[in-house]
Amino acid sequence: MELIGRLIKRAFELRNLPQKVKKANRKPVKEQERVLKKLLIKAQFTIFGEDYNFYKILSSKNIIENFRKNVPIFDYKSMYKRYWYRLLNGESFVCWPSHVKYFALSSGTSEASSKYIPVTRSMIKSIKRASIRQLVSMVNYKFPLEFYNKGMLMIGGSTHLNYNGKYYAGDLSGITANKIPFWFQHWYKPGKTISQSSDWNLKLEEIVNAAPSWDIGVIVGVPAWVQIIFEKIIERYNLKNIHEMWPNLNIYVHSGVSIKPYLKTFNKLFGKKIFYIESYLASEGYIAYKTDPDALGMELITNNGIYFEFVPFTPENFDEEANIRSNASTYWLKEVENNIEYALLISTNAGAWRYLIGDTIIFTDKDKSEIQITGRTKQFLSVCGEHLSLENLSRAVEILQDKLNIEICEFTVFAQPHKNLFEHIWYLGSNDKIDNNLAAKIIDAELSTLNDDYRVERMEAIKLVKVESISCEIFYKFMEKNNKLGGANKFPRVLKGERIQEWQNFLEEQSIKSKN
């Protein structure tokens, strides 16, 4: 605790410096050059490093350009097929000079089966380092020093890890929680005992039971599950809002999905203004977090074991199924532009190399390396060229809530054929009564305003837009059926392929049960 106390005290001293002075100390482009060189030096004698002649890249005059030319782009399937399966079989020095003891299980929101993402000791150290930096950066929000002695409630996956004799596998939040340093235990809630539970409903009950004994200042988690916890606490203790339980709650750190569709509900659950801070911790590493309350985006972590590349998310670089083309154009930090949608490639100290992480971003300020997440490469809706991003979909739902004065807990959408053309089917989770026809008209109109491609295809190829409103509970039951209840799991905003039929079958089952 003494270390973090000194860091926060020093941060308090620095926060009074002019912003120009503090920002001048950051040199993201130079940091990225150094990170890539360090990664290549460290991994040059691995199987991957020898396959792609890292020693030659390191001896070249332009390391960045030669790295781009000589190392191909990988997605999960190609990385797993060629290299990562060997890690699961116990081999060492495959993509990183170590034995990989931990694997983060991740399906994101676009895949049905789990992915095994390697987590090395170097990566865990980087995540710890970034977490401390983010905690210290909160001094920019001008809270008194006493605030930093309040609890931090972290709603993640189970800290219980499965061991098969060769490696441990589980949620990244579980892996990192098991590695929480001793000095952080003072702040960490719900604590190791509750966090170990793999039963979300049991964990929820234990959190609600323990809530009165905590003095929470910061809460971290996916919006849907944080909302459920707040509602349960308010109901159990007959409160008007969550601040009657935790008056010192000032910060909500959210990640994974857009907070905008949830704001209407959260504003009712809070009793005073709080700060929403976005962070970007993926299964592959800690990528960015918001450091300035006035900034539009999050700041890329450019000096912490991850080298970033960016692929314009265009038909020239991705096919109609959002698979990256072999000749895709890539850019590094020095070459990017503001307000262009890029798919993210990362090379990391966990042995991911030019790896397509599956997220899309835009730069809101390239000079400060500030970004916003816009969606997933696989989580967009475009069966006939409408090119709807998650940002478009979330914004339409946000506007719908305001116009109809309703609260929507979850939503999803998919496209299907309709009389030789197409239709979009929306499912809105809400406990309010919704006029489905009116909701469809509002969503349709807003998307036509937000997206020119959608407006054109709406006249040409999209025959119908339909809305079905269902209870929030149905979304949660579907997640529970697929063992995705709680933690860092998110309901997919766009359904495709087999997931559409799986969702429709589930809804039919629920309808039959309700009638019986």
The C-alpha angle 336, 337, 338, rounded to 5 degrees, equals: 130
- Give the per-residue pLDDT at 181: 58
410-418 and 151-155 strand pairing: unpaired
- Cβ-in-10-Å burial (0-12, 13-18, 19+) of 218 comes to buried
Q: How far is CA 399 from CA 247, 262, 402, 449, in A?
A: 30, 12, 5, 12
- Give the per-residue pLDDT at 203: 87
- Give the per-residue pLDDT at 502: 93
The DSSP annotation for 5-25 comes to: HHHHHHHHHHTTS-HHHHHHT
C-beta separation of 141 from 293 below 8 A: yes
- From the list 299, 276, 275, 304, the residue with the least C-alpha distance to 288 is 299
* Crossing angle (nearest 10°) for helices 472-481 and 498-515: 120
pLDDT over threshold 90, residue 511: no
Domain definitions of the chain by residue range: 390-515
The C-alpha angle 222, 228, 234, rounded to 5 degrees, equals: 130
**219 has which bridge partners?**
153, 252
Radius of gyration for the chain, computed over Cα atoms and rounded to the nearest angstrom: 23
- Give the per-residue pLDDT at 469: 95
**299 has which bridge partners?**
289, 370
Specify the higher pLDDT residue, 247 or 187: 247
C-beta separation of 345 from 356 below 8 A: yes
Which one-letter DSSP state was computed for residue 317?
T
Q: Which residue has the tokens 């696989």?
A: 378
**Tokens read off for 281:** 């911790």
Confidence at 2, pLDDT banded by 50, 70, 90: very low
pLDDT over threshold 90, residue 438: yes
C-beta separation of 223 from 186 below 8 A: no
- From the list 53, 50, 57, 51, the residue with the least C-alpha distance to 36 is 57
**Tokens read off for 60:** 């070249």
Measure the CA–CA gap between 175 and 155, rounded to whole angstroms: 14
- Give the per-residue pLDDT at 109: 46
- Give the per-residue pLDDT at 137: 81
Strand 216-221's sheet: what is its strand order?
188-189, 151-155, 216-221, 251-254, 275-282, 285-289, 298-300, 370-376, 355-365, 342-348, 306-312
- Give the per-residue pLDDT at 512: 82
- Give the per-residue pLDDT at 107: 61
Could you report the per-residue pLDDT of 297-312, keeping only the tens digit for each? 999 999 999 999 999 9
Specify the higher pLDDT residue, 315 or 47: 47
How far the first Cα of the chain sits from its last, in Å, is 57
Specify the higher pLDDT residue, 8 or 512: 512
Specify the higher pLDDT residue, 154 or 109: 154
Name the amino acid, one letter, at 214: W
pTM summary value: 0.84
- How many other β-carbons are positioned within 10 Å of the β-carbon of residue 231? 16
pLDDT over threshold 70, residue 21: no
Average pLDDT value over all residues in the chain: 87
Name the amino acid, one letter, at 351: G
- Give the per-residue pLDDT at 38: 98
Confidence at 39, pLDDT banded by 50, 70, 90: very high
- Give the per-residue pLDDT at 361: 93
Could you report the per-residue pLDDT of 131-148, keeping only the tens digit for each? 888 877 877 777 766 676
- Give me the architecture of the 390-515 domain, per CATH: 2-Layer Sandwich (3.30)
Specify the higher pLDDT residue, 187 or 172: 172
- From the list 230, 216, 217, the residue with the least C-alpha distance to 267 is 230
Q: What percent of the chain has pLDDT over 90?
A: 57
Measure the CA–CA gap between 485 and 200, rounded to whole angstroms: 6
Measure the CA–CA gap between 438 and 13, rounded to whole angstroms: 54
pLDDT over threshold 70, residue 119: yes
C-beta separation of 400 from 439 below 8 A: yes
